[in-house]
């Protein structure tokens, strides 16, 4: 069964992509901007991260509606996945399986 065939699978994939893009933004693009004076990486990766973030939020609300999650679970998944580096790994293992 494919990850994309279920709403939880789509949420898990979008969470991973959004979280990974945050790590690339913080670990590669930001140092390139401030240490090497190369801001183009932040523009490109930042734009991609923003698009992935919007997709993640859409999939999260779709899953919230379909699975009738409590608001507290949705908020926890949102906060941990979006704002904590490597939080998406914890969320995937503990909350989305």
What pLDDT is stored for residue 97 in this prediction? 72
Residue 20 lies in a domain: yes
Residue 42 lies in a domain: yes
Q: 56: domain range?
A: 6-94
Residue 11's contacts (CB-CB under 8 Å, 6 or more residues apart) are: 56, 59, 60, 62, 63, 96
Residue 1 lies in a domain: no
Number of domains comprising the chain = 1
Assign 19 a pLDDT band (cuts: 50, 70, 90): very high
Residue 66 lies in a domain: yes
pTM over 0.75, yes/no? yes
What pLDDT is stored for residue 90 in this prediction? 92
Extended beta strands in 22-90, E state: none
């Amino acid at each position: 069964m494919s990850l994309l065939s279920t709403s939880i699978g789509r949420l898990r994939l979008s969470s991973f992509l959004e979280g990974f893009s945050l790590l690339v933004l913080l670990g590669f693009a930001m140092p390139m901007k401030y240490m090497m004076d190369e801001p183009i990486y932040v523009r490109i990766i930042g734009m991609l991260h923003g698009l992935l973030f919007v997709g993640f939020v859409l999939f999260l609300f779709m899953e919230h509606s379909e699975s009738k999650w409590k608001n507290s679970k949705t908020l926890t998944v949102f906060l941990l996945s979006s704002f904590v580096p490597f939080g998406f790994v914890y969320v995937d293992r503990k909350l989305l399986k």
